[in-house]
Structure 1
Amino acid sequence: MRLFVFGIGYSADAFVTRIASRCAWIGATTRSPDKAEALRARGITPFLFDGTAPGEGIADALAQATHVLVSIAPGEAGDPVLARHGADLAAARPAWTGYLSTVGVYGDHGGDWVDEETPCKPVSRRSVQRVAAEEAWLAHGGKPAQDGKPEGVVQVFRLSGIYGPGRNALVNLEKGTARRLVKPGQVFNRIHVADIAGALEAAIDGPAKTRVFNVTDDEPAPPQDVVSHAAGLLGVAPPPEQDFATAELSPMARSFYGENKRVSNARVKSELGYDFLFPTYREALSALHRDGWR
């Protein structure tokens, strides 16, 4: 396997770490020259790419890639990877392309369950952009084979709230930034970064079919419950509850509470055969508390 990653952030890096032993070569993009050197030290070939212009050497690297992971958000001008390297990808036709998206594309469903067949009705501008990007990537994967070489599949992975080492309620409590905001009936799904990596590997080994998958835990839960559970693990008092309606929040933070849904992960389990390492926040926080949460 020769893996190329557009945007090696928190989730993509976890996937690279998990799958590195299976790869003959790994290349990844970053905006930062300093991070590029850090990637090189890990045996990953770095490429600088900021989305405004094609990255030097990327077209040649894609021509040799068998698998591609895209972890760069779209903007007002659309998806930067398709805009700058869509033609290169179309010419290279890797066997598998994974695109990391968000469950935010579903919008608000009043706490009802949603799955991959539920129509998207995004609320925020960023989610509207995500829907457009998803559609563009799925169309890219739906092209017919050329010159006897298959086009390769494109799979979209809709991720819920991401957490793991360094990014979790235990860290927030330790820093004093944890809050217990209470909005009656509000729930969120979450996903441990290790399960993102695991689901992606399962997809690579699974059926070669252009498809959308929700990558999320089993239990949508009120956010204040997660903070309380983390506080119990640390043996500290949880922060006081705050009424969401009167709490001081940034516009972006408040916008997240405008979307209420329960996201099903049944397709990942049934079609990819993936068993979650951390089916709920309880198992995940307990493991972080045991093994190190920072």
Structure 2
Amino acid sequence: MLRRILTFFRPKRTSTGVRQLLEDAAAQRAIFRIEAGEGSEDRRYFIAAEVTPDGIELEPKGLRLDNLRHWQGQSFPFRFILCSRDCGRTQLFEFSSRVLSVAPRQGRLAIALPNIVKSLERRQNVRITLQMRHMPRLGIWPVIGGGGKASPRIMSRPILDVSPNHSSIGLTIRNLSSGGMRLSFSKSDFSSNEVHLEPGKRLLLELSFAGKAFDTRHLFRIISCVRNVMPGQGGRIEVGVHFLALHQEGKKPAWKNVEQGGVDAIGRLVHQFQVEYYKEIKKRLDGMPAQGPPKISKAS
């Protein structure tokens, strides 16, 4: 009984597997992205430098640590990517950890070793903000009926039909995951279709990924449900939708339920995009000088 009590108060040890992952990250000088807020402007990027007995040290690139002293003691979610030995396969990981110290003179940020590191490759809630070259053509139609085994009835007039080259596509698609997406409408577009965009309403989304960035065309026709509606930036209205059923061309049943597991093919695309974006960021950061110790001006 005493042994059990002592075990309860004993601090948790980081598993060998987690330490090995982080040591591999340091060996590859992997990018660590810190989510320090809700917007993309709140993301900060560091390079894995060294694993210590208590944590892992990160080096900033193009970022001054002097302005980040208030991070000490705070906890943040982190993401990083590892490559296989031949870099033929990459994997995305996520964990939460506390900032142990911020040392501008040494050019290092130290974070505690996490107890758990999760692989994000197959997670339904991994969301990504698409770059313009990966934007799909987006069509949205109201759905009527189709409960149970009945086929859904799609209204002929679309709510929206935007090409990937249209200037508004980047504003319209806020993020994408295998389980759903967040859309943004101008006030006029939302007002014209508000009756179809209320929470609980169903929509047909058609996403067509094609162009120079893709080896082949990827077409998805998905029955979705509006989950929430909220004010967005610039006076726009944001609508969160959850994927319910994926159309299967030439198969029975014609609609596959994806409410729980999401659309696997979209999940693979999201992972592919994330890996590509991380590699580009790493290449750009590798070309930037590391932050050196602050220079001390000589007294005249």
Which of the five TM-score ranges fits, normalised by the shorter chain?
Answer: under 0.3
Structure whose CA Rg is larger: 2
Q: TM-score, normalised by structure 2?
A: 0.22
Q: TM-score, normalised by structure 1?
A: 0.22
Q: Which has the higher helix share?
A: 1
Higher relative contact order (CA 8 A, sep 6+): 1
